[in-house]
Amino acid sequence: MLVATALAIVGMQSLFATVMLSGVFSLLSALLLVTLDAVDVAFTEAAVGAGISTVLMLGTLALTSRFERASSRSPALPLFVVLVTGAALIYGTLDMPNFGDANSPVQTHVSPEYIERSPHEIGVPNIVTAILASYRGYDTLGETAVVFTAGVGVLMLLSGLRRRRRKKSEDA
């Protein structure tokens, strides 16, 4: 369903339908994360991806047109940039250990400590939640503050645009 939703988003001309399908994509991603027992990450995806992002995009859509304009530029340069970036990312992963390798550094150094200590120190059955909420609590708080600040910044930009539009309509 994620792939079908993504393909539908790519083929849409209506920006409203694109925003709504993006929210659906985020909710489907959250459901996938719940089935993988990453409830904390699923909650964040649902709140930020389907909640805040959809509201901000709908607010932006209220200030713009409802349909995408045809581009007069050639897509060659953006396609080239995406391909080069993708190749650089793939090149950067070539030196990584194989997925699930029991002898990788993360499996031999950090994970055993968390697995051994978290049930006794924190008492939370989900180790991922224990790590995010307790061991990395300040980091998680910082990430939340960054997302909140970005949302406030976008809302301020949108309110400034609305004031400018009102002023232009009053001057006319």
Residues 35-79 pLDDT 10s: 887 777 788 788 888 888 888 888 888 878 777 777 778 889 989
Q: Rounded CA gap, 75 and 78, in Å? A: 6
Q: What percent of the chain has pLDDT over 90?
A: 21
Local confidence band at 171 (pLDDT 50, 70, 90 cut-offs): low
In 10 A of CB 6, how many CB atoms? 14
For residues 1 and 58, membership in a common domain is answered with yes
pLDDT in tens, 128-139: 777 777 777 777
Q: Rounded CA gap, 125 and 166, in Å? A: 54
Local confidence band at 162 (pLDDT 50, 70, 90 cut-offs): low
Q: Of 134, 91, 131, give the one whose Cα is nearest residue 111.
A: 131
How many domains does the chain divide into? 3
Identify residue 13 by its one-letter amino acid code: Q
For residues 56 and 96, membership in a common domain is answered with no
For residues 64 and 98, membership in a common domain is answered with no
What range defines the domain where residue 97 resides? 83-124
For residues 57 and 4, membership in a common domain is answered with yes
Whether residue 11 lies inside any domain: the answer is yes
Domain final residue, candidates 45, 69, 93: 69
